[in-house]
């Protein structure tokens, strides 16, 4: 496996190729106008194509929130005066809007600070409540870190956790899931849409299986709610996590769906005044709850249009890139996926180098290149991506307000800089010459 950082090339063939490609001299890329990016100046802010990280606040959501930040500032749990009644009414309306989007009863919706808290309550709360009789939890290797860390915390408490592998397309095997379920299993937690590669798991099938085995099913739907149709009853979902800022709502608010019939019991992980059915103590922030409700209401009306827009823009982006660049790989299943999340690996290009070159576009790398560990993404590792390709991945996140011009500009810049970076790579030239890079024995220095 090649080293991630600059390699000292000692192979005579490679040295010869470098010299031959430059006419016997070493090119100074810092001064070559075809390769230098030092003189590129950003006019204004970068374009935003990182919708899986967060979304902008929809102006209509802000309009709904504003009155509760100024005039209607009462505590929704104050029952003795009009200020409290006004806020409570607004919170309950928001609860109904969230419930309507997912086909639930409003009483089954619990407001939280976000999907991370919802995931913690679900995984730890179910396991601990039923832990006297059942000590087994099932999840996948590609879950969000908060689910994986919650499972590791449970392992420290004596629980057994099965981390299901996924196939090369990112989807789980239903046969493997069924084999993993035992009489000791209390919970299966599998996310609906992956935040890194956009793969959609067969949630309805998982729900049916869990129901037949009498095992609770939790899904992290932060990347799915408001983007694809979700019905908790049709899909047999027992618990579901929701995030406000992933659907053009405010940050700091989320929700947890907890089924009432048949009743799902959860041990609260936060002590306090017993708000939200005793599952999540603490004052519900009225403006944020109103914002989440408004975002869900807008999503329920515009989901179909938004989805068609995502499909159009994602196809346009990929068509342009694939038409101009060879050796580009899409990570994850191309069919069972959310079109607004595109994860591409550009062979023989460092993802972080490409991100630096694309400084006028806000993107994310599928590789954890900014962490101290310098390890590639665990999601890409789980689907069997080579380490070099994992380090060369970029995630393009298309949102409701993304324009055609932004997609075209991003594709154009991406093509330009991938070509430039490959031209600077002797490895790329070796590949063009037909050399099998993996067959070379590299000297270690």
205-223: per-residue pLDDT in tens?
Answer: 999 999 999 999 999 999 9
Catalytic residue of the set 210, 341, 369, 414: 369
130-136 long-range contacts, CB within 8 A, separation 24+: 130/186, 130/187, 130/265, 131/157, 131/159, 131/186, 134/183, 134/184, 134/185, 134/186, 135/159, 135/160, 135/184, 135/186, 136/160, 136/161, 136/162, 136/182, 136/184, 136/185, 136/186
Q: Taking the CA atoms of 283, 287, 292 and 293 in sequence, report the sign of the dihedral they define.
A: positive
CA distance 326 to 348: 11
Q: What is the pLDDT of residue 387?
A: 86
Give me the pLDDT at residue 60, please. 98
pLDDT beneath 70, residues of the chain: 1-42, 366-374, 441-445
Residue 16 contacts by C-beta under 8 Å, 6 or more apart in sequence?
none
The pLDDT value given to residue 350: 87
Model pLDDT, residue 400: 97
CA-to-CA separations, 354 to 40, 285, 390, 397, in angstroms, rounded:
14, 40, 13, 16
The Cα 424–Cα 397 span in angstroms is: 28
Closest C-alpha to 84, from 254, 290, 286, 293: 286
Per-residue model confidence (pLDDT) at position 367: 45
What is 60-298's CATH number?
A: 3.40.640.10
The residue extents of the domains of the chain are 45-57+303-434, 60-298
User: In the prediction, which pLDDT does 278 show?
Assistant: 77
210 is catalytic: no
Tokens standing for residue 244: 């406000």
Q: How many whole angstroms separate alpha carbon 135 and alpha carbon 377?
A: 29
* Rounded distance between C-alpha atoms, residue 392 and residue 427, angstroms: 14
The predicted-structure confidence for 104-142, as pLDDT tens digits, reads as follows 999 999 999 999 999 999 999 999 999 999 999 999 999
Looking at domain 45-57+303-434, which of 1.10.3720.10, 3.90.1150.10, 3.20.20.140, 3.40.630.30 is its CATH number? Answer: 3.90.1150.10
- 20 bridge partner residues: none
Whether omega for the bond prior to residue 241 falls within 30 degrees of 0, making it cis, is no
């Amino acid at each position: 496996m090649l080293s991630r950082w600059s390699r000292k090339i000692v192979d005579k063939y490679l040295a010869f190729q470098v010299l031959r490609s430059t006419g016997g001299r070493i090119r100074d890329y810092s001064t070559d106008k075809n390769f230098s990016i030092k003189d590129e100046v950003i006019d204004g802010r970068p374009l935003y194509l990182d919708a899986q990280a967060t979304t902008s606040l929809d102006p209509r959501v802000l309009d709904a929130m504003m009155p509760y930040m100024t005039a209607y500032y009462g505590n929704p749990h104050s029952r003795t005066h009009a200020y409290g009644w006004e806020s409570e009414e607004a919170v309950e309306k928001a609860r109904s809007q969230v419930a309507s989007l997912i086909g639930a009863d409003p009483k089954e919706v619990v407001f939280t600070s976000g999907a991370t808290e919802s995931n913690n309550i679900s995984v730890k709360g179910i396991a601990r409540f039923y832990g006297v009789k059942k000590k087994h939890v099932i999840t996948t290797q590609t879950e969000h870190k908060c689910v994986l860390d919650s499972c590791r915390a449970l392992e420290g408490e004596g629980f057994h956790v099965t981390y299901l592998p996924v196939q090369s397309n990112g989807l789980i095997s239903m046969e493997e899931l069924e084999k993993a379920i035992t009489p000791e299993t209390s919970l299966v937690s599998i996310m609906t849409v992956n935040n890194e590669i956009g793969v959609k798991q067969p949630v309805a099938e998982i729900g049916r299986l869990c129901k037949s085995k009498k095992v609770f099913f939790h899904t992290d739907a932060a990347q799915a709610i408001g983007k694809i149709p979700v019905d908790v009853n049709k899909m047999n979902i027992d618990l579901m996590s929701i995030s406000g800022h992933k659907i053009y709502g405010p940050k700091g608010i989320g929700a947890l769906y907890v089924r009432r019939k048949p009743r799902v019991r959860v041990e609260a992980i936060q002590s306090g005044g017993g708000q939200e059915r005793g599952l999540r103590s603490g004052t519900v922030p009225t403006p944020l709850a109103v914002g989440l409700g408004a975002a869900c209401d807008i999503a329920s009306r515009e989901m179909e249009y938004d989805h068609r827009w995502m499909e159009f823009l994602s196809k346009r982006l990929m068509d342009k890139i694939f038409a101009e660049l060879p050796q580009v790989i899409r990570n994850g299943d191309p069919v069972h996926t959310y079109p607004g999340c595109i994860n591409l690996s550009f062979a023989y290009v460092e993802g972080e180098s490409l991100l630096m070159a694309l400084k006028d576009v806000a993107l994310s790398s599928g590789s954890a290149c900014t962490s101290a560990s310098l390890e590639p993404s665990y999601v890409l590792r789980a689907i069997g991506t080579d380490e070099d390709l994992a380090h060369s991945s970029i995630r393009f996140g298309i949102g409701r307000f993304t324009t055609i011009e932004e997609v075209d500009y991003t594709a154009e810049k991406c093509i330009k800089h991938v070509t430039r970076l490959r031209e600077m790579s002797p490895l790329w030239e070796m590949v063009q010459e037909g050399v099998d890079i993996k067959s070379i024995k590299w000297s270690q220095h």
